[in-house]
Amino acid sequence: MGYVDAKQLAEWSKETEIEPGSGAARRGGKWKVTLARAGSREAVLAVHENVRLAGYAAEIHAAAEGGKRVYVVQIGRLPSKAEAGALAARLRGRHGIQETGISN
């Protein structure tokens, strides 16, 4: 067994604690961030893959808009509008994401 000093413990805690306002998903969260939207699944696959490889639980959903089928990449289960906004701001301009949207 070894001894861990308080400074090292504080550093490790930063790596494992989920900070409020960091855009973390939580069980029961109802807010979503939309990362990409297109008329074909192939058109959103690159964003989906990039975000998943970065460690986010992105999903592709098919929806009907104006009588047409669209494919949407979203990250869901965010607990508040503020958390969704924080995540949207963090991802905008990265991983092939140009625009983001927030909904619940």
Q: Where are the domains of the chain?
A: 19-103
CATH classification for the domain delimited by 19-103, as one of 3.40.309.10, 1.10.1060.10, 3.30.70.1070, 3.40.50.720:
3.30.70.1070
Under 8 Å between Cβ of 96 and 61: no
Q: How far apart are CA 3 and CA 21, in angstroms?
A: 33
Q: Provide the pLDDT for residue 61.
A: 96
Task: Give the confidence band of 24 by pLDDT, cuts at 50, 70, 90.
Answer: low
SS3 content of the chain, % helix, strand, coil (to 5): 35, 30, 40
Give me the chain's average pLDDT, please: 88
Contacts of 24 (CB under 8 A, 6+ apart): 18, 78, 83, 87
Q: Provide the pLDDT for residue 25.
A: 61
* Residue 82 CA neighbour count, 13 Å, CB half: 4
